[in-house]
Amino acid sequence: MSEMAKNLILWLIIAAVLLSIFQNFKGGPVPETITYTNFVDEVQNGAVRSVVIDGLEIEGERHSGAGFRTIRPDIYDSGLMSDLLNNNVNVEGREPDKASFWQQLFLAAFPILLIVAIFMFFMRQMQGGMGGGRAGPMSFGKSKARLLSEDQIKTTFADVAGVDEAKDDVHELVEFLRDPSKFQSLGGRIPRGVLMSGPPGTGKTLLARAIAGEARVPFFSISGSDFVEMFVGVGASRVRDMFEQAKKQAPCIIFIDEIDAVGRTRGGGWGGGNDEREQTLNQLLVEMDGFEGNEGVIVIAASNRPDVLDKALLRPGRFDRQVFVGLPDIRGREQILKVHVRKVPLDERVNLAILARGTPGFSGADLSNLVNEAALFAARGNRRLVTMEEFEKARDKIMMGAERRSMVMSEDEKANTAYHEAGHAIVGRLTPEHDPVHKVTIIPRGRALGVTQFLPEEDQYSMSRRKLVSMVCSLFGGRIAEELIHGPDGVTTGASNDIERASQVVRAMVTKWGLSERLGPILYGEEEGAAAPFGGGRNFSGSTSQQIDEEVRRIIDECYDTARRLLEENIDILHAMKAALMEYETLDLEQVDDLMARRPVRPPRDWHDGGDYQPGDKVTVQDESGGTPIGGPVEG
């Protein structure tokens, strides 16, 4: 129903109600109400001068001038008129009220109008809701893309930091949307689609909004999962409707988040496929590069898994350009922190350059969370400024989990945890090329009873075999420390995560990274992916599998023996570190240095008593090639 029709019906209803009120409104004082018996008595006594009879209602006036009213019983009274005339009462009859033309029209048309209004209401509900935008049965084929006008988008390139290369790649999109003739005069064609890929939280969506904000064009936002429904053909219909809306708003940007939900490689005959998803993908391919052009409509998509996307979607003419939005480097992290601390009151000793150097591997979302957690810690402590102490606590919480100080541990359990974490720290400190020890704690965090945190001195993008072997040795340091103190039967289950991580690293060294002399630089096992039959498989024989297991076992045994030797040679440091952990619960880098040098342990720093922040707070980097952890906190 159009707005004009709805307004017309509303005014008709208001007019009818007002007319009815005016017709029934009577002014003047309200007369006295008396019973019919008293009325008859007064008539017979000659007290009544005149009456007006209106059906069963009788209004009259006495000789004294006072008015009255009464209701005649609904029975035939043949003597009433005789009494009135015999007592010289002036009798007047009132004509029955008749409805006006408009009242009659309204009463006659009201049922029809009511039926029409109900019918239109339900039709609107089925087509998407009466003004509320709620989905209905008839809205299945409509696009769910949310439109933001150019005035609603406040994000610009100034709000996006740490991805300078990605901004350079998409900057010409802004220029094209502002001045297409600059490119068209030279025969150039702007890319129809841009695919942004990279780890989660690196700012892909933010960068897309910044492009629309800089170009001052409408922005359609939708998720890949919004296309696919249980009904076949719905996704394709939504794709068509979305592009039809975009053409009306051209030039504009369509942003499809998590496009891998709909753009995965189509089935190749193995185990069937998803017809609805594939039909939706086919329609998207046609809309992006079909017979009908979409001039002025640029599609920007984001995905964490570009490797699973259909090749037809990535070819030139559809997604002509792929932009990798990776994790920021140290300079990028500093720029991102500057953006996020704009509205945060900072202590003058907070150094964002040191924070950036201490957070390698953090994405933009991680850094935003770091600043927010630090502000929350400061608010809980009723502080006016956010200091480095709050940033330190926030980083520990993000990396190692929240402290569980309410967890009750016996003294024996705490002592065993202290030996375990001390074993990690000592072996990690004595093996070559290992990341420095940043912090050792026996305060339960997350699912761990204690944590030893190793932090690299700088951003790392590759690792040597020596460094990997040292890391495996430190992973076994906690279990070996328990074995040296309590014997083989006293070893606990606290090393389960250490064993799992060590096994993953060593197996990757043998089968993926080519760091085994016996098996050589050969990839054993196919990469998992949608293009591989049944999700991948192994491409080696049973005898090779046995050799892999033997080589993994040999490397782990060598690392285990190395860690045992280091702890046996420094058993006095192991006992001293256990005692320090029992006293302070948490040891920082300086205290670990004192213990390794066999000096008395200095007390912990007080951040709010003028203690200066010492550089060296770094975090672990994840191996982006396979997701295998290559450092970081070692859980006890």
pLDDT digit string, tens, across residues 525-566: 755 444 444 444 566 788 888 999 999 999 999 999 999 999
Q: What per-residue string of b and e applies to 66-77 under the rule 16 or more CB within 10 Å gives b?
A: eebbbeeeeeee
> Tokens at residue 579, please?
């005692």
The residue type of 610 is G
Q: What pLDDT is stored for residue 55 in this prediction?
A: 77
- Cis (ω within 30 of 0) for the bond into 73? no
Q: Per residue in 218-231, is it b (16+ CB within 10 Å) or e — as a string? A: bbbbbbbebbbbee
What pLDDT is stored for residue 84 in this prediction?
80
H helices of 45-200, in order, are: 80-86, 101-126, 164-178, 181-184
- In our burial notation (b when 16+ CB lie closer than 10 A, e otherwise), range 584-600 reads bbbbbbebbbebbeeee
Residue 219 dihedral angles phi and psi, to the nearest 5° = -135, 115
Of 349, 366, 418, 371, residue with least CA distance to 609: 349
- CA–CA separation, 378 vs 384, rounded Å? 7
Q: CA 68 from chain center: how many Å?
A: 75
Phi, psi (deg, nearest 5) at residue 52 = -125, 115
- From residue 206, how far is each of 300, 352, 365, 520, 598 by CA, in Å? 12, 22, 11, 44, 51
Is 421 considered catalytic here? yes
Structure token pair of residue 302:
């984001």
| DSSP assignment of 406-468 | T----HHHHHHHHHHHHHHHHHHHHSTTPPPEEEEE-S-BTTBS-EEEE--SS--S---HHHH
Q: Is 456 exposed, middle or buried (0-12, 13-18, 19+ CB in 10 A)?
A: buried
Which residue type sits at 615? P
pLDDT at residue 621, as a whole number: 30
Residue 308 DSSP one-character state: G
**CA separation for the pair 189, 11 (Å, rounded):** 54
Cα distances (Å, whole numbers) of residue 571 to 128, 284, 413: 73, 66, 20
**Which residues lie across from 193 on neighbouring strands?**
299
pLDDT of residue 81: 81
Share of the chain above pLDDT 70, in %: 79
Do residues 545 and 538 touch, judged by C-beta distance below 8 A? yes
- Token reading at 306: 């570009």
The residue with tokens 């994000």 is 155
Q: Which residues does 586 contact at the CB level (< 8 Å), separation at least 6? A: 439, 440, 441, 442, 443, 604
Neighbours of 628 (CB within 10 A): 17
Q: What SS3 state is found at 368?
A: helix
The β-bridge relationship of strands 90-93 and 48-54 is: parallel
Say whether 618 sits in a helix, a strand or coil.
coil
**Distance (Å, whole) CA 453 – CA 632:** 6
Could you tell me which residues are beta bridge partners of residue 195?
Answer: 301, 322
Rounded Cα–Cα distance for residues 267 and 279 (Å): 12
Which entry of 278, 287, 334, 421 is annotated as an active-site residue? Answer: 421
Looking at residue 302, the DSSP 8-state letter turns out to be E
Those residues with Cβ within 8 angstroms of residue 583's Cβ, 6 or more apart along the chain or in another chain: none
C-alpha torsion sign, points 364, 171, 239, 222 = positive
The pLDDT of residue 632 is 41
Q: Is the dihedral of CA 404, 405, 406, 409 positive or negative?
A: positive
Q: Which two tokens stand for residue 228?
A: 């696919």
Does residue 182 contact residue 232 with C-beta atoms inside 8 Å?
A: no
CB neighbours (10 Å) of residue 405?
10
Below-50 pLDDT ranges, the chain: 1, 129-135, 137-138, 140, 269-272, 528-536, 610-636
Q: Are strands 90-93 and 193-197 parallel, antiparallel or unpaired?
A: unpaired
Q: Is the pTM of the predicted complex or chain greater than 0.85?
A: no
